[in-house]
Amino acid sequence: MKKKKEKIYFNDQWDEMTVHLKNFIETGEQEELHLFRVQVKKLRAMLELLDTNSIKHPLQKDFKPVRKIFKRCGEIRNAFINLQYGQQFQFKNEDFFMNHLHEIEKGTNEVKELGKQYLKTIKLAHDDIGGDLQHVGNKDIVEFYKTKLYNISSSLENLQFNDELHATRRQIKTLMYNRKIAQDALDGKLQISNDYLDKLQTLIGDWHDNVLALELFSSAGFQSKSVITRIRSQNTRLKRSITALAHDFERKAILTQQLSMH
């Protein structure tokens, strides 16, 4: 991957992230907030790849101010998702809905008030990172993917439905987010089934959403036996599907050659 190509991709992704944050500050639209957070995840995945042979301090370190904004916006997003859970499971509790609507309004107003400061922070982070971008060779990219695949495979061999599985999903998404800039390096050396990885991470994501929903509706003041029963039943089905799909991960994830670690 050439440095010029890295720079162009980095700037394009960064510009898209900034636009979505600006749009959210102006409109308060949840979709813009969601797309901003997706772009942060894509950039974080890219910086993790570029950090594999960074001769200076990690690029991800200069990305921390952006991740702080991401985290604050995540609180708003979580409140919105909780409302969606309430609708999905037909949860009848006025206090539940009013509390989360209040959190969304309060958080959105806060982001709007701090909007100029947030955008300035993002610009400074871009300048800091952009000046330190280093060329990553094709061999290093292939090794990055092989290592990630090996780690994911090891985790899934001893499949546990806990935070480790959620962390494994993040590793899968790191590979997926980077596939555009890594494609040339992987071509002819490591052919990955993106469809398989996408199906697996989606199922794990559904399971994790279920876990969060179970915690939410089991909390004091919002307990609902009928809702909890439905979520647990859905959780059982998801666990079976994930177990079946995750089995023999390496064979399913790699299309044309076996994964070899040095």
Measured distance CA(216)–CA(203) in Å, rounded:
20
Per the structure, the complete domain to which residue 38 belongs is given by: 1-136
CB atoms within 10 A of CB 246: 20
Same domain, 169 and 234: yes
Q: Do residues 4 and 117 both lie within one domain?
A: yes
Give the CATH number of the domain where residue 17 resides.
Answer: 1.20.120
Q: Name the nearest CA neighbour of 52 among 191, 147, 125.
A: 147
Q: 131 with 1, same domain?
A: yes
Between 15-29, 44-58, 71-85, 95-109, the lowest mean confidence (pLDDT) is in 44-58
Q: What is the DSSP letter of 255?
A: S
Whether the predicted pLDDT of 228 surpasses 70: yes
Q: Please count the structural domains in the chain.
A: 2
Residues 6+ apart with CB under 8 A from 229: none
Domain end position, chosen among 106, 136, 166: 136
- Do residue 121 and residue 199 come from a single domain? no
Across the strands, what pairs with 192?
254
Residue 31 has pLDDT above 50, yes or no: yes
Determine the average pLDDT of the residues in 181-195. Answer: 92
Q: Do residue 131 and residue 153 come from a single domain?
A: no
Last residue of a domain, one of 86, 103, 136: 136
Q: Are residues 113 and 243 in the same domain?
A: no
**pLDDT tens, position by position, 123-158:** 999 999 988 888 889 999 999 999 999 999 999 999
Banded model confidence at residue 220, pLDDT cuts 50, 70, 90: low
Q: Cβ(103)–Cβ(30) under 8 Å?
A: no
DSSP-based three-state secondary structure for 192: strand
- My answer on whether 105 and 68 are in the same domain is yes
Closest CA relative to residue 13, chosen from 86, 51, 89, 66: 66
Is the pLDDT at 92 greater than 90? The verdict is: no
Q: Are residues 194 and 257 in the same domain?
A: yes
**Is-contact 219 187, C-beta < 8 A?**
no
pLDDT given for residue 5 in this prediction = 82
Percent of the chain with pLDDT over 70: 94
126 and 157, same domain (yes or no): no
Name the phi and psi angles at 192, rounded to 5: -105, 140
Q: Is the pLDDT of residue 106 over 60?
A: yes
Q: Are residues 222 and 259 in the same domain?
A: yes
Gap between the Cα atoms of 185 and 62, Å rounded: 26
22 CB-contact burial (10 Å; exposed 0-12 / middle 13-18 / buried 19+): middle
Last residue of a domain, one of 108, 136, 164: 136
Helix axes 30-50, 179-186, angle to 10 degrees: 30
Q: What is the pLDDT of residue 259?
A: 45
What confidence score (pLDDT) does residue 161 get?
95
Q: Which amino acid is at 62?
A: D
pLDDT of residue 261 exceeding 50: no
Residue 258 pLDDT class (50, 70, 90 cuts): very low
Give CA separation, 114 vs 14, 28, 69, 108, in Å. 19, 13, 10, 10
| Calpha distance 52→58 (Å, rounded) | 9
pLDDT of amino acid 126:
97
Q: Is the pLDDT of residue 260 over 70?
A: no
What is the pLDDT at residue 94?
A: 87
Query: Cα–Cα distances in Å, from 141 out to 48, 147, 152?
Result: 11, 10, 17
Q: What is the mean pLDDT of residues 84-109?
A: 91
Same domain as 228, residue 124: no
Instruction: Let me know how long the chain is.
Output: 262
Q: Does 125 share its domain with 19?
A: yes
